[in-house]
Amino acid sequence: MIYVHVPFCRSFCTYCDFYSEIASGECDRALLSWQASMLKEISSRSEEIASPTEVETLYIGGGTPSALPPTVLGAVVSAIRKLRPGGFREFTVEVNPDDITPSYASALRSLGVSRVSMGVQSFDDGILRWMNRRHDAGGAIRAFRTLREAGFGDISVDLIFGLPQLSDALWKATLEKALQLRPEHISAYQLSVEEGSALAGMAEKGLWKEASEELCRGQYDTLCRMLSEAGYHHYEISNFALPGFEAVHNSAYWRRVPYVGLGPGAHSFRRSGGKEIRSWNSETLSGWTSQEEILTPEDIRTERIMLGLRTAEGMEASELESLAGKETILALKGEGALEEAGPSGESGQGRLRIPEERFFVCDEIIRELV
């Protein structure tokens, strides 16, 4: 598993707090400096990258990876591929609709990209303007069709709900438009105020107020119902897929599979000498450095519960009992906050999961367990 962080955007979204810088074009000095540092990091971590892993995936995220010219993106991918000549089971690149042209889509195909994750967020032009997105609804639809025409058969679309100005009717219309496109995968996230974002500044000044829990819960329920009726598998709290199109890379995160993170701000996870180690790169466009920490038994326990119960498959009942205690589990089962589930998320024995109707309050349930 390899993750590459691209810290460039052409503009900053209202809600975003991810590390990113403005990119202005192919000859942008900051962009070229990042490329040189990326190639240096790939070389210095070649043994790590080349080692066989449980899950063979490459994910390029950001930021906005599609802000990179194909030549720059290709140089980074080529350096990684030289160390992993066997290729990848899944190769995902995140894109912004405004960057997708027939030539760019073709370039992604030529690089071996098998899956595209497109940040649509909304099909309402007013909301897109408020978010400071570069595209409009029509542009998102055109970009999706361009990717299809280029031969991409695995496209994921990101959506955001839980805005006070997003009415239930508008949210339903957004979902209908997404379903008309029939992407293989849909990720839907509730808007949150992240420290350091423009939205956080607006909230502090009293210029914006979060949506009510009632509105957010209603929109999440609508999301679950409409996507279920359309044949999507709700395999993780925020993620839905047509059968067989669940994200391999992200699913491995939830199972705590080790991975290599490359680029400024990227995190990595490995096991060595009986220890679990998390490391992260500093947030600078060139010459970034790395720090690490050894996870404590309590860190590991918390992560195993928190990540395992995000999914429809849940956790082995015996594992959860060893981590959280039988009495707590019995109490939550009695409240309907946990249920038995089979190996594939079907009703059965041996596993425990949070029922879909309780996903919206999963954080509260997990707090009881940890």
The CA distance from 56 to 112, in Å, is 14
Is 151 found in the same domain as 29? yes
Closest CA to 239 of 252, 253, 227: 227
Is 302 found in the same domain as 204? no
**Quick check: is 288 in a domain?**
no
Is 347 found in the same domain as 203? no
Query: What integer pLDDT is reported at residue 32 of this predicted model?
Result: 87
> Within 10 Å of residue 13's Cβ, how many Cβ atoms?
22
Q: Report pTM.
A: 0.91
**Quick check: is 260 in a domain?**
no
DSSP state of 97: G
**Quick check: is 275 in a domain?**
no
The CA distance from 10 to 1, in Å, is 28
Is 359 found in the same domain as 229? no
Is 248 found in the same domain as 304? no
Is 122 found in the same domain as 8? yes
Number of H helices, E strands in the chain: 14, 17
Is 62 found in the same domain as 205? yes
Instruction: Among 202, 236, 253, give the residue marking a domain's end.
Output: 253
Is 306 found in the same domain as 203? no
Is 333 found in the same domain as 235? no
Is 305 found in the same domain as 248? no
- The answer to whether 334 touches 317, Cβ cutoff 8 Å, is no
The 10 Å CB-count burial string (b at 16+, else e) for 161-198 is bbbeebeeebbeebbebbbebebbbbbbebbebeeebb
**Domain containing 80 — which CATH number?**
3.20.20.70
Instruction: Among 253, 286, 304, give the residue marking a domain's end.
Output: 253
The 10 Å CB-count burial string (b at 16+, else e) for 134-143 is bbbbebbbbb
Supply the range of the domain harboring residue 320: 296-370
Instruction: Among 253, 272, 288, give the residue marking a domain's end.
Output: 253
DSSP state of 339: E
pLDDT per residue as tens, the chain (370 positions): 999 999 987 766 676 666 667 666 555 788 888 999 999 999 999 999 998 888 899 999 988 999 999 999 999 999 999 999 889 999 999 999 999 999 999 999 999 999 999 999 999 999 998 888 888 999 999 999 999 999 999 999 999 999 999 999 999 999 999 999 999 999 999 987 677 777 777 777 877 788 899 999 999 999 999 999 999 999 999 999 999 999 999 999 999 999 999 999 999 999 999 999 999 999 988 889 999 999 999 999 999 999 999 999 999 999 999 999 999 999 999 999 999 986 544 544 589 999 999 999 999 999 999 8
Is 300 found in the same domain as 247? no
Number of domains in the chain: 2
